[in-house]
Structure formats: C-alpha cells, structure tokens
Amino acid sequence: MKNPFDIQGKVIIVTGAAGYLGRGYCKKLADAGATVIGWDHKQSEGSEQVDITDEAQVEKAVATVVKKHGRIDGLINNAAMNPWPGDPDADKQFVPYEDYPIALFRKEVEVNLTGTMIVTKHVAAVMMKQGSGSIVNIASEAGVAAHDHRVYKTPGRYKSPAYTASKTAIIGLTRQWAARAGECGVRVNSFSPGGVYNPAMPEDFMKRFGAMNMLGRMAEPGEYAATMQFLLSDASSFMTGANLVMDGGKTAW
C-alpha cells in the first residue's frame, strides 16, 4: 500500500523560509524527498529573495518555478510579521492599542494578509490549471481566540492587534480559496499553531506561555513541521477549507 504521507518529488514553495519555523519546514520537507523552494524578504542560505507584497515580483518568481520544475504541488504561506518578547526590533508592536501606529498596522496587514493573497493568487492559478495541489496558510491560535496579554510580565504590553486581526482573516481567506480552488481539485487549509519553543525568547516567558495550555508546555518546532507534511500529502486528501488547530489544547479550555 502506498504511503499516504509520501511527498517524494513534490515541488513545494515555502514563504518566510529564513525564519525560525520556516527553516524547519523547509528542512523537514526536503528530508522527506520534496523539492523545496524557499522565499523570504531577505536572501539567505536556503531561500530566495522575494517580496510577497510585490505582486509583479511574486508573479515572476512563480513563473520561474514553473519553468524550472514544470509544476507546483504545494505552498506554505508562512511569511508574517510576528513580534515576540525579547526581540528589540518589535517593542513598538507591544504598545497599548490606543497608541498603536496605524502605519505599522497597515504594514503588518500588508505582509500577513495581503501577501498571502498575492502568493495564493498566482500559485493557485498554476495548481488549478494542472488539477492538483495543496496550499497551507499559517494562521494562529490568536486567530481562534484572543491573545491573553496577562502572559507578559511587564505591565502595558499587548500582542499586536494587527497580528491577531490578520491571522483571523487568514482563516476566512482560506475558506474562500478552498471554495474556489476545490472546483479544480486543489485543496486549501489553514493551520493555527500555538506558541513554539524558541531559545531566543526569555525562558520565564516560555514557561508562563506553556503553562496556559493543557499539556503545560510550548510546542517543539518539529511537531509543526510534521503537520506540514500531513497537510501537503495525500494523507489529508479529503481535507479542504479546514482550520487545523494545534495548540496543546489551549483554546479548548
């Protein structure tokens, strides 16, 4: 019996490939035999420089993939602006909402939501023409339930409202694309992960965050990477328009 999780030879694009989770997704899929094309807003080892908010650039990058490989079998829309504690460049994204800069809000929505739409638009067109393919949009537990700001030790810190708003919208965008692409045999699902262990984050924050779910810990990166293989393989062949939540039971309390 053929292994339904087999992705050997599949051509898969991963956006945000230079990020912490993106690198893990790329490695897991490549180790499983897929041909992985990583995109990121900055060029780095294992990823090509593609600005997903620039439609002309995305259209050209998609055409390049098709010209070289002849098809696109999978897409993970992973790129996003996601502030995390300990990142000095993201401090301005943790301010009270009444002080949140609208310019920054627009920028986050442009990357997280509009960028996902742009990439999906051009990749889905290829998949629909070939009659097959799987798209995974990375949403978040924050798209299912409000982020609890009490997890932050410092008073007056709040999760970016643009992050939560855009990730909630990703789930709706996924459903609409699933309705359209399903007519051509293409599947579109979203994935809502919980917090993931990252050694760059403050240890005390990770303990507090992990304690908020039923398993009492944050996820390990490899746990999410395996889920990507499931969603991109035939193991999920009758799954589309769904939002797969993997948050240690946090939103089930």
Domain boundaries, the chain: 11-241
> For residues 170 and 148, is the Cβ–Cβ distance under 8 A?
no
**Is 166's pLDDT higher than 70?**
yes
**Is 3's pLDDT higher than 80?**
yes
pLDDT in tens, 111-154: 999 999 999 999 999 999 999 999 999 999 999 999 999 999 88
Q: What is the DSSP string of 73-114?
A: -EEEE-------TT-GGGGGGGS-GGG--HHHHHHHHIIIII
Average pLDDT over residues 86-103: 86
For residue 248, what pLDDT is reported?
97
Clarify whether 163 is annotated catalytic: yes
Model's pTM, two decimal places?
A: 0.95
Out of 25, 163, 197, 224, pick the active-site residue: 163
CATH fold group of domain 11-241: Rossmann fold (3.40.50)
**Is 155's pLDDT higher than 90?**
no
**Is 1's pLDDT higher than 80?**
no
CA 205 to chain centre: 22
Q: Residues, the chain, total? A: 253
> For residues 15 and 37, is the Cβ–Cβ distance under 8 A?
no
Average pLDDT over residues 84-105: 85
> For residues 214 and 247, is the Cβ–Cβ distance under 8 A?
no
